[in-house]
Amino acid sequence: MQPIEIDHVTKDFGQGRGVFDISFSVKKGEVFGYLGPNGAGKSTTIRQLLGFVKPDKGSLQMLGMDCFRQAEEIHKHIGYLAGEIAFVENMKGMEYIQFIAQLRGMRDDTRMKELLEMFELNPTGRIRKMSKGMKQKIALVTAFMDSPEVIILDEPTSGLDPLMQNRFVDLILEEKKKGTTILMSSHIFEEVERTCDRTAIIRQGEIVDTVDMTELSKIRNQVYTVTLSGEEQAHKLSKQPELAIQSVDGAVVKILVNNNVSDSLKILAQYEPVDLQIATQSLEDVFLHYYGKGEEKDA
């Protein structure tokens, strides 16, 4: 049995909202991404994992326990960062952190201090006066500070500046080495690419695919932007059946190139290009392929 198991879960809120027959599992020590646009069903899935919402159909288990019936026991062994964080606003930041530590029965604050230093956080002021970024740092500290077996993260870097986002990536990689199991919901492609082993892609409440990030990176194309001497040459090049033409704009042709680099360059040389620029396709573009498949299925 895996630390996280979701089996044919449906929660239908009506009007196409919710999640529908979703299934995936997360292995011990794995960082598992849950990627999709806002409203796709990521938070609904997480709320069911935490026992806040009961599924209409299917089952969810964490650490071998039923997520709805045994939620109280599960919460003793996991860390959680909510997409919409609710604080006791009148408390000071450190008071809140210590309050959560007491609830969890923490006896060693070493990890807490390490996290405060990592995120350059001085939580002495009242939470209500803090910026969104400061509040997010407090939430990260409380999610990780007692070294839980499983950590659930819902949009964990919301409000963080680029430096702190990098610190967060370092933290995830550090936890991965320790064998912590992490489920991370996000719509930030770079964050997922740098941290996750596998990723489930959700669209309109349905899992489009579950992909291995190593394999996914192999199918990323390069984009060749080729400038020819004139529109006539560009038109002729665009008719080459061996090339995956992306677009033609005047004398400029964009071509997707994967494993056929040598063959593509030989063809391009025949047209004597005046300029050639090469860029690697973004991970976002690759994922849009999966959303595109969903559009075709709907059609």
DSSP string, 246-282: EEEETTEEEEEESS-HHHHHHHHHTT--SEEEEEEPP
Residue-level length of the chain: 299
Q: Which two tokens stand for residue 292?
A: 């595109």
Least confident interval from 41-55, 188-202, 228-242, 282-296: 282-296
Q: How many other C-beta atoms can be found within 10 angstroms of the C-beta atom of residue 90?
A: 10
Whole-number pLDDT of residue 219: 66
Contact 206, 22 (CB under 8 A): yes
How far apart CA 261 and CA 222 sit, in angstroms, is 9
Q: Where in the chain is the domain with CATH 3.40.50.300?
A: 4-212
Q: Specify the fold of 221-280.
A: Alpha-Beta Plaits (3.30.70)
The residue with greater pLDDT, 280 or 282, is 280
DSSP string, 155-221: STTTT--HHHHHHHHHHHHHHHHHT-EEEEEES-HHHHHHH-SEEEEEETTEEEEEEEHHHHHHTPP
What b/e sequence results for 226-241 when a residue is b if at least 16 CB atoms lie within 10 Å of its CB, and e otherwise?
A: bebeeeebbeebbebe
Whole-number pLDDT of residue 261: 86
For residue 202, which of 178, 185, 182 has the smallest C-alpha distance?
185
Mean pLDDT, residues 268-276 taken together: 93
Whole-number pLDDT of residue 190: 78
Q: Specify the fold of 4-212.
A: Rossmann fold (3.40.50)
Whole-number pLDDT of residue 200: 92
Pairing of strands 206-212, 222-227: unpaired
Pairing of strands 4-14, 78-81: unpaired
Q: Which two tokens stand for residue 131?
A: 């910026």
215 pLDDT tier (thresholds 50, 70, 90): confident
Q: What percent of the chain has pLDDT over 90?
A: 72
**Residue 232, pLDDT above cutoff 50:** yes
Whole-number pLDDT of residue 299: 29
Q: Where in the chain is the domain with CATH 3.30.70.120?
A: 221-280
Q: What is the pLDDT of residues 102-128, one digit of tens each?
A: 988 898 999 999 999 999 999 999 999
Q: What is the pLDDT of residues 149-182, one digit of tens each?
A: 999 999 999 889 999 999 999 999 999 999 999 9
Q: Which amino acid is at 239?
A: K
Q: What is the pLDDT of residues 234-247, one digit of tens each?
A: 999 999 999 999 99
